[in-house]
Amino acid sequence: MTARLILAATPIGNHQDASMRLRELLETSPVIAAEDTRRLRDLATRLNITVTGRIVSYHEHNETSKADQLLDNIENGHDVLVVTDAGMPLVSDPGYRIVERAIERDITVTAVPGPSAVLTALALAGLPTDRFTFEGFLPRKPSDRRKTLAALATEPRTMVFFEATHRVDDSLADLAQAFGSQRRAALCRELTKTYEEVVRASLSDLAAQAAEGRFKGEIVLVVAGAEPTPGVSLDDAITRARLLADAGERTKDAAALVAAETGISKREIYQGLIS
C-alpha cells in the first residue's frame, strides 16, 4: 500500500474514548508527528501501549518548516501519523500546512475520525444543529473581539466558540452586548472528563456566572443563531451599523455590510450614521 499522511483524532478528556484504530496506529506507525511529545507518551501509557516509531515534535510554531521534512518520509515509503493534544488535527490545532503541502505533492491524505469537542458540545447544548458554524477562539484583543462579534450578530446558524478560562468572563460579556442579553447559549466545560458540566442559559446569565469565577477548565461555548428579522426598519439597520462602527469597522464599510444583510439602501444607512 502506498504510504500516507494520516490525521488521527485523540481523546478530548477521557482516554477510554481512544479508538482501536488510533491504538493500532500509535503502536505501528513508523513516524508520529505530535503537537506535544510528552502528552503523546502520557496517552500511550494510559492506553497501556508501546510507541515503536519515531516521534517528531510538530506544533504551531514549526509546522510550516517541518511539513516537507515529514512528507519526505512518506515519499520514502513510510506512513506519517499526525496527532494533536486533543481532538482532530486542523480544528484549532496544527495540521493545515502539512495537509496543504501533501496535496500539492500529490501525497495521499486520510483521517481516523474520533472525539471532537465541537461536535460533543453541539450534541449537549440543546440548540439547533441542522446548521452550525465553528468560529474557533475569539480574538484576545477586546476591540478585535467586539468587531468579530458585531459581524456575527445576525448569523442565523448555531455558533461554536472555544474559549480560555481566563477570558471567558470578558468574552461572555461581549457576546451578551453584541448578540443581546437573552440570546440562548450553552457553556460546556471539561467535556468527557470527571467534572464535565453543561450550563444552558441566556448569555447574560452565563456572563454573570463567569464574572464570579464560576467556570474553570477547557471551555466550549455554543450560541444560538439570530432569529429571522423580516422587515428590518431603517432605524434598526442604522443601530446595527453603529454597533459595527463602534466595534472598529469603518463607517462606510459598516453601512455596506448592513445594507447587504437587510436590502436597505447603503446611502440611507450611511447618512443615518453620520447625522
Q: pLDDT value at position 240? A: 86
- Spatial distance between the Cα atoms of 192 and 15, rounded to a whole number of angstroms: 9
Whole-angstrom CA distances from 196 to 99, 212, 246 are: 33, 19, 37
> 148 and 75: one domain?
no
> 135 and 40: one domain?
no
The H-assigned helical ranges of 180-233 are 203-211
How buried is residue 166: exposed, middle or buried, by Cβ count under 10 Å (0-12/13-18/19+)?
Answer: exposed
Q: pLDDT value at position 260? A: 76
Domain membership of residue 19 (yes or no) is: yes
Residues belonging to the chain: 275
Q: Which residues contact 169 (CB under 8 A, 6 or more apart)?
A: 207, 210, 211, 213
Q: pLDDT value at position 1? A: 72
> 167 and 239: one domain?
no
> 123 and 106: one domain?
no
User: What does each of the 275 residues of the chain score in pLDDT, given as a tens digit?
Assistant: 799 999 999 999 999 999 999 999 999 999 999 999 999 999 999 999 999 999 999 999 999 999 999 999 999 999 999 999 999 999 999 999 999 999 999 999 999 999 999 999 999 999 999 999 999 999 999 999 999 999 898 898 999 999 999 999 999 999 999 999 999 999 999 999 999 999 999 999 999 999 999 999 999 999 999 986 667 788 888 998 999 888 888 999 889 888 877 778 888 999 999 98
Q: Which residues contact 274 (CB under 8 A, 6 or more apart)?
A: 251
CA dihedral 128, 129, 132, 135 (to 10 degrees): 90
> 14 and 43: one domain?
yes
CA dihedral 162, 164, 169, 173 (to 10 degrees): -30
Residue 268, phi-psi category: left (phi > 0), alpha (psi -120 to 50), beta (remainder): alpha
Q: pLDDT value at position 229? A: 64
**DSSP-derived 3-state class of residue 31:** strand
Domain count of the fold of the chain: 3
Among the three residues 65, 95, 115, which one is the final residue of a domain in this structure?
Answer: 115
Domain membership of residue 20 (yes or no) is: yes
- Spatial distance between the Cα atoms of 154 and 24, rounded to a whole number of angstroms: 45
Contact 86, 115 (CB under 8 A): yes
pTM for this entry: 0.82
> 134 and 214: one domain?
yes
> 33 and 99: one domain?
yes
Domain membership of residue 178 (yes or no) is: yes
> 175 and 262: one domain?
no
Domain membership of residue 266 (yes or no) is: yes
CA dihedral 22, 23, 27, 28 (to 10 degrees): -40
Can you give the CATH number for the domain in which 168 is found?
3.30.950.10
Task: Give the other-Cβ count within 10 Å of 61's Cβ.
Answer: 10
3-state secondary structure 127-178: CCCCCEEEEEECCCCHHHHHHHHHHHCCCCCEEEEEECHHHHHHHHHHHHHH
- Which residues share a beta bridge with 160? 134, 222
Domain membership of residue 228 (yes or no) is: no
Joined together, the cell numbers standing for residue 171 give 468574552
Domain membership of residue 43 (yes or no) is: yes
Among the three residues 115, 135, 170, which one is the final residue of a domain in this structure?
Answer: 115
- Spatial distance between the Cα atoms of 116 and 34, rounded to a whole number of angstroms: 17
Range of the domain at 154: 118-223
> 163 and 179: one domain?
yes
Contact 83, 58 (CB under 8 A): no
Domain membership of residue 229 (yes or no) is: no
Short-list 80, 63, 62, CA closest to 71: 80
Q: pLDDT value at position 259? A: 84
Can you give the CATH number for the domain in which 108 is found?
3.40.1010.10
Among the three residues 74, 92, 115, which one is the final residue of a domain in this structure?
Answer: 115
Give the strand order in the sheet containing 54-57.
54-57, 31-34, 80-83, 5-8, 109-112
> 204 and 253: one domain?
no
- Which residues share a beta bridge with 112? 8
> 129 and 219: one domain?
yes
> 130 and 56: one domain?
no
Domain membership of residue 190 (yes or no) is: yes
